Structure 1
Amino acid sequence: MSEGTKPETSQLTNKELKELKKKEKAAKRAAKKESIGIKPDAPQRRGGDRPKTASNIKKQINQSKTQSETLKIPPLFGHLETREQRISSTPPQLANIVHPSILTLCLKYSTFKIVGSTHRCQAMLEAFKDVIESYKTPEGTSLSRHLTGHLSHQIEYLKSARPLSTSMGNTIRWLKQEISLISIDETDEQAQLILTEKIDVYIKEKIEYANIAITDSTIQHIVDGSTVLTFGHSQVLLHIFKHVATELNRKFKLVIVDSRPLFEGKKLATELSGYPNISCQYIFINSLSSILQEPVDVVLLGAHAMLSNGRLYSRVGTALIAMSAHKRDIPVLVCCQSIKFSDKVQLDSVTMNELSEGQDLLTMGSKPTKRNGFALEQFLKEKRTQKEEESKGKKNSNNNNNSNSNGVSLTKPEDPLANYREIDNVTILNIMYDLTPPEYIQKVITEVGSLPPSSVPVILREYKGNSSNS
């Protein structure tokens, strides 16, 4: 009976054996994808049999337009990813397994509702708490093994909005290490409770308590009647200025230097304008040389990252302010938490940087341009071209109505750079960060004390040692 019901492999030909092995491998791959949470793909057709559906045509159009946008970037910055490239490189299967909190956070990142390295890191940890609390371990695996891969999919989707900051990268490595230390015997509820508590402790120690420690080390540089200059917005600097004005009751003048396109300094000026002890002065960075002719006691700067060769990686414009202050013998102090320290070495701001939308530099308002999805943007562009073609005939007939008796046009002049993407010899480059050499920085103030920029590797060794021992 067993011989009649079970086919013998020896009776199969070589061709049939190969097909049988292929089917077994495909079944294993599909089972593995289902365990992760990705739906198995439909069986692929051969290249010649693939139908030219509307979705395939749209994908080809989007890819060709992404390549044409890449050609507009100067070759020196051609290795930096644009927003369109990040979106197009994101696997479409991720949308099925991304948590709603990650989707919301991704939208806030891309629209710059959440800006700043520390603020982005804290918001990411809060979203990860929601992911962990709603997580259920699939059968046949353990939480310490499967949750790491599940979080990796959420992180990949976050990268499509904006590249990860240094503090976010350090925090992700810490969280994955903590997940790997969870015992197999722990239930899902116990493991979720342990991880969420560790995230809360991490936020308090590395962000909140770090801000308090940095404040205690910085307040000695702000005395009654002093003039402080800062650039943009920093969470730790905001905490310092509030503490000096309220707890120490010191009166000082604060010069806030700002730049386009994010106008982060406006947020700092708005939050500090209600404090009577702080006299705020708001200027743009093009007026920096004029304001530095007046007496300035100290320059306080925030940081996106401190590199191991002592260079400061921060919002573009920071290097100009530090260099101008150093030239006039004004001390430049950088306030930076240890989670922003990086073991990378960088000599210029070209090798690694973030390339944002060039359209943001053309907006005259106080907020960046609202960003549509890439597919929606292409759809709107096609509709615009159709309207322009339809209105060509109407413009000729209305020329007499738009001119007065002297022949002067009464219509509003168009922005010559409105369609800069279609102009071949015009390129608008929006770089987010620059690099400040260590000789322009007097000292770096962290939660472990004040130190010169050359001592950054020492903090990195201690930070890694403490994280590995814990």
Structure 2
Amino acid sequence: MPVAKEVLEIAEKIRNMEIRGAGKIARFAAYALQIQAESSKAPTVDEFWKEMKKAARILYETRPTAVSLPNALRYVMHRGKVAYASGADLDQLKFIVINAAKEFIYNSERAIERIGEIGAKRIEDGDVIMTHCHSKAAISVMRTAFEQGKDIRVIVTETRPKWQGKLTAKELASYGIPVIYVVDSAARHYMKMTDKVVMGADSITVNGAVINKIGTALIALTAKEHRIWTMIAAETYKFHPETMLGQLVEIEMRDPHEVIPEEELKTWPENIEVWNPAFDVTPPEYIDVIITERGIIPPSAAIDILKEEFGWALKYTEPWED
């Protein structure tokens, strides 16, 4: 059951964060399944489906926190599973899997545009916005508002230890948006000049809690203290279906060498541990609204999105496990 070389390369890039950002990870995961289906030389339907499940399993195991990845895999593999169980022939099954992958990628890209259109309505002329990490959905809100002629400035936090804030600052600046780049610990200091906070999400739970890059919760808490709106921009495939069944979201712990270079860490005392959580959890009471491609909802409405989008997923084992 060979897995295509390109699929293994994509999986490795997701694992080591060459491919990062929940939406980008999801699109690449779907694209990897498309590549597997297109390149498969399996002679039978059964062998083809085994190859697809193996590829999906490899992709699934790369990053445990960003639910966009398994949701992308579910979108493609569930449709393939239904076709496989219904007796589709090899060509039909390949077509369904490839088409589902392309459909997911298109819908994901369109969702970002739609979130920008909806979210920009909540941005006012003259607003100073604070953002954290690198979120295509959050950037879409700010870019759309700016392109509508609204005079905005954006405070971008550096987002250590991987410095995703640099990506955000450069991207916003490329659109002509004035940017102020600050260290993470300066967020509270500059909150007093901030009008709104706009951030993305890696996962959203059934109660509306947001899992996003480490530091998000502190910024949301500071905004709450200053009575400043915190808006989360997130596609519906970032809502976490398993949290409806009580599953807790695993917070990914990454290599300590991302925080302290390996050579430097060798000289440190042995009784110093370096912990490097990639994400934190922002309670729903610190969030004012969540902007999705379906519209703006309060955190308490997360369960409605989950039931509508992923209710079917709770009735089955994962398509790559059975």
Bucket of the pairwise TM-score, normalised by the shorter protein: 0.7 to 0.9
Superposition deviation, residue 160 in structure 1:
5.5
Cα distance per residue 1:343-362 (max 9 Å; x no partner): 3449xxx9721110001101
Matched residue, 1:425: 271
Equivalent of 2:116 in 215, 230, 240: 215
For the residues of structure 2 that align with 1:254 and 1:424, how far apart are their CA atoms? 41
Equivalent of 1:261 in 158, 161, 164: 161
Matched residue, 2:98: 196
Determine whether 1:292 maps to 2:191: yes
Larger RCO (CA under 8 A, 6+ residues apart)? 2
What letter corresponds to residue 238 of structure 1 in structure 2? Answer: I
Superposition deviation, residue 121 in structure 1:
0.7
What letter corresponds to residue 189 of structure 1 in structure 2? Answer: D
For the residues of structure 2 that align with 1:137 and 1:98, how far apart are their CA atoms? 11
Matched residue, 2:175: 275
What letter corresponds to residue 267 of structure 1 in structure 2? Answer: L
The 8 Å contact of residues 343 and 457 in structure 1, kept in 2 or not, is answered as no
For the residues of structure 1 that align with 2:241 and 2:61, how far apart are their CA atoms? 24
For the residues of structure 2 that align with 1:286 and 1:338, how far apart are their CA atoms? 31
- Relative to structure 1, the CA distance from residue 307 to residue 467 in structure 2 (aligned partners, 3 Å threshold; closer, same or farther) is closer
The 8 Å contact of residues 136 and 188 in structure 1, kept in 2 or not, is answered as no
Equivalent of 1:249 in 127, 138, 149: 149
For the residues of structure 2 that align with 1:129 and 1:152, how far apart are their CA atoms? 13
The 8 Å contact of residues 221 and 298 in structure 1, kept in 2 or not, is answered as no
For the residues of structure 1 that align with 2:162 and 2:233, how far apart are their CA atoms? 21
Determine whether 1:179 maps to 2:80: yes
For the residues of structure 1 that align with 2:109 and 2:227, how far apart are their CA atoms? 32
The 8 Å contact of residues 229 and 255 in structure 1, kept in 2 or not, is answered as yes
For the residues of structure 1 that align with 2:69 and 2:18, how far apart are their CA atoms? 17
SS across alignment from 2:155: strand
Matched residue, 2:139: 238
Matched residue, 1:226: 127
What letter corresponds to residue 433 of structure 1 in structure 2? Answer: F
The 8 Å contact of residues 65 and 250 in structure 2, kept in 1 or not, is answered as no
Q: Which runs of 4+ in 1 moved over 4 A?
A: 183-187, 465-468
Superposition deviation, residue 286 in structure 1:
0.9
For the residues of structure 1 that align with 2:65 and 2:203, how far apart are their CA atoms? 12
Superposition deviation, residue 302 in structure 1:
0.2
Determine whether 1:332 maps to 2:230: yes
What letter corresponds to residue 194 of structure 1 in structure 2? Answer: I
What letter corresponds to residue 188 of structure 1 in structure 2? Answer: L
Superposition deviation, residue 251 in structure 1:
1.9
The 8 Å contact of residues 148 and 176 in structure 1, kept in 2 or not, is answered as no
Give the aligned length: 310
What letter corresponds to residue 279 of structure 1 in structure 2? Answer: P
Matched residue, 2:319: none
What letter corresponds to residue 64 of structure 2 in structure 1? Answer: P
Cα distance per residue 1:55-114 (max 9 Å; x no partner): xxxxxxxxxxxxxxxxxxxxxxxxxxxxxxxxxxxxxxxxxx331112211232233211
The 8 Å contact of residues 60 and 69 in structure 2, kept in 1 or not, is answered as no
Superposition deviation, residue 319 in structure 1:
0.3
- Relative to structure 1, the CA distance from residue 177 to residue 213 in structure 2 (aligned partners, 3 Å threshold; closer, same or farther) is same
The 8 Å contact of residues 72 and 237 in structure 2, kept in 1 or not, is answered as yes
What letter corresponds to residue 7 of structure 2 in structure 1? Answer: I
Determine whether 1:455 maps to 2:301: yes
- Relative to structure 1, the CA distance from residue 312 to residue 187 in structure 2 (aligned partners, 3 Å threshold; closer, same or farther) is same
What letter corresponds to residue 276 of structure 2 in structure 1? Answer: N
Superposition deviation, residue 239 in structure 1:
2.1
The gaps in structure 1 that reach 5 residues or longer are: 1-36, 38-96, 364-368, 370-413
The gaps in structure 2 that reach 5 residues or longer are: 315-322
Cα distance per residue 1:375-408 (max 9 Å; x no partner): xxxxxxxxxxxxxxxxxxxxxxxxxxxxxxxxxx
The 8 Å contact of residues 98 and 157 in structure 1, kept in 2 or not, is answered as no
Identity %, equivalent residues: 25
- Relative to structure 1, the CA distance from residue 306 to residue 444 in structure 2 (aligned partners, 3 Å threshold; closer, same or farther) is same
Matched residue, 2:318: none
Superposition deviation, residue 253 in structure 1:
0.7
Determine whether 1:107 maps to 2:7: no
Most deviating of 325-334 and 190-199: 190-199
The 8 Å contact of residues 155 and 181 in structure 2, kept in 1 or not, is answered as yes
- Relative to structure 1, the CA distance from residue 185 to residue 168 in structure 2 (aligned partners, 3 Å threshold; closer, same or farther) is same
- Relative to structure 1, the CA distance from residue 320 to residue 282 in structure 2 (aligned partners, 3 Å threshold; closer, same or farther) is same
Q: What does 1:27-426 correspond to in 2, within 5 Å?
A: 37=1, 97-139=2-44, 143=45, 145-158=46-59, 161-163=62-64, 165-182=66-83, 186-205=88-107, 207-246=108-147, 248-276=148-176, 278-294=177-193, 296-345=194-243, 352-363=250-261, 415=264, 417-420=265-268, 423-426=269-272
